[in-house]
Structure 1
Amino acid sequence: ARENNLKIIASCSFAKHMLEKEDSYQDVYLG
């Protein structure tokens, strides 16, 4: 996602939880 300047939107609660927990994803994570 970073390479293409895309943002990530978590499609399930598990992915959302993992993305929120992982600091290295904060620049590409929208919520």
Structure 2
Amino acid sequence: LIEISTVERGVISLYGVRSELFVAMNSRGRLYGT
């Protein structure tokens, strides 16, 4: 299961419920995570 939410304008966060890890994408399409 993945939860999708907006962090701020132009930044989207994807949260893996089972793994408890985050991946975010900024407005330029760059991914970063924990």
Provide the TM-score with structure 1 as the length reference: 0.24
Q: With a CA cutoff of 8 Å and minimum separation of 6, indicate the structure with the bigger relative contact order.
A: 1
> Where is the strand percentage greater, Structure 1 or Structure 2?
2
> Which structure has the bigger radius of gyration?
2
